[in-house]
Amino acid sequence: MKALLLFLLFLSPGWVERRGTELVCEEKPVRLRGMCLGNWWVPEGYMFGFTRATSPTQIERGVLELLGPEESRAFWQEYRSVYVRREDLELLARSGFNSVRVPLHWKFLRDPVELKRLDWLVQECKRLNLWVLPDLHAAPGGQTGDNIDDGASYPWLFESPESRRLAAQLWREVAERYREEPTVLGYELLNEPIPNWTGYTELHPRLDEVYREMGRAIREVDQRHLIFLDGAEWATHFEHVSSDWDERLVLAFHRYWADPQAIGPYLELRQTRGVPLLMSESGENDQKWLREFRTRLEADGVGWYFWPYKKMQTDSCVALVKTPPHWDKMVAWIDGLGLEGEERRKLRPTRAEARAAFAELLRNIRVENCTVQNGFVDALLK
């Protein structure tokens, strides 16, 4: 393992380009084998054990109520500093992954501290020969209307001109920042836009409009990087996603809790449209399913990213985080959002319990204090 890491230090990822339906680097086929760094910039409730407080804003509100303004702000700053460190990326590189997918929240894309952190990630990944795929997981206005976009319970991105302009401008700024950096694989414009819920299909044609707006903004400053387009309905439906308006487009689909062999429609899409295909998110399943799905993807020449790298309580991840003391009380309070009066007050832990729990969480999320799930890793790489 040490020899592999030393070897990687003398490499750096090259430009990945499109050749027909293939992705290539220095004219050699690229097979992406990546891990999603979920729960870092975009916290999700289930990865902490919450069931009702599911969005970043709800989680942040609960932490604020328990720690107060100064301590909660300090907590999140430290959380983002230690959730992904050099040691985490070295673990992924040693294990055999060649890329990381980075879910981004739009609110951090003009934050100098967080942009510096993103720069750090890119440079560390360059050192370790890992490509970086940024994805806009939480877009202005929200692209899903669910907790994962941290929006206002509806995909307002597609109806709000202000949100559309901001989203395109933010991608322009990201592209301008990394236009000369081959370690950045490309830009995944939106994560899982427009759910398959009743009444939402009318938004499908607007997805292509938004993609084109974002694409034009990117191409004003960056003509080389790939652009990845998720389908509608949780990245599964591509009828209204055109793929002929740029020479460097890649179609990205997601696959959860379904027959691992049933990817025929996506392979047909690749053939009929003549564009590369990427499976940019899947996971949260048992190791047998993961192995079967991963091997099917590789047999058909489809690169992949699995979700997630690190979380608490369940072992479908690379690094399992130990539950802190008093965490059941933190969960009860934070999931008690919406309760009022004495019914809520009786759930409040003591200040000492809250401080101890969140301090321990910051220790536990360091990878040296996590338990590496070797079975999960082997299912993806062996």
pLDDT at 189 over 70: yes
Nearest-Å Rg of the Cα atoms of the chain is 20
Quick one: pLDDT at residue 3?
Answer: 47
From edge to edge, which strands make up the β-sheet containing 310-312? 310-312, 319-321, 371-372
Token digits for 246?
């740029």
Residue range 270-287, pLDDT digits in tens? 999 999 999 999 999 999
Residue 6 — very low, low, confident or very high, per pLDDT cuts 50/70/90?
Answer: very low
Residue 266 — very low, low, confident or very high, per pLDDT cuts 50/70/90?
Answer: very high
Q: Is residue 204 part of a domain?
A: yes
Q: Is residue 220 part of a domain?
A: yes
Between CA 228 and CA 114 the distance in angstroms is 23
Mean pLDDT of the chain: 96
Q: Is residue 20 part of a domain?
A: no
Between CA 225 and CA 185 the distance in angstroms is 7
Angle between helix 351-364 and 327-334 (nearest 10) = 110
pLDDT at 2 over 80: no
Q: Which helix (H) or strand (E) holds 229?
A: strand 226-230
Residue 130 — very low, low, confident or very high, per pLDDT cuts 50/70/90?
Answer: very high
Residue range 24-76, pLDDT digits in tens? 999 999 999 999 999 999 999 999 999 999 999 999 999 999 999 999 999 99
Q: What is the pLDDT averaged over residues 326-348?
A: 94
Token digits for 171?
């991608």
SS3 317: coil
Quick one: pLDDT at residue 11?
Answer: 58
Residue 218 — very low, low, confident or very high, per pLDDT cuts 50/70/90?
Answer: very high
Q: How many domains does the chain have?
A: 1
Contact 103/149 with Cβ under 8 angstroms? no
Q: Is residue 12 part of a domain?
A: no
Q: Is residue 21 part of a domain?
A: no
CATH number at 154 reads: 3.20.20.80
What DSSP assignment string belongs to 10-30? T-----EEEETTEEEETTEE-
Q: What is the pTM of this model?
A: 0.95
* Least reliable range by pLDDT among 97-111, 246-260, 335-349: 335-349
Q: Is residue 26 part of a domain?
A: no
Q: Is residue 350 part of a domain?
A: yes
Query: Counting beta carbons within 10 angstroms of the beta carbon of residue 115, is it exposed (0 to 12), middle (13 to 18) or buried (19 or more)?
Result: middle
**Which domain range does residue 251 map to?**
32-381
CB atoms within 10 A of CB 204: 19
Token digits for 266?
């996506």
Q: Is residue 2 part of a domain?
A: no
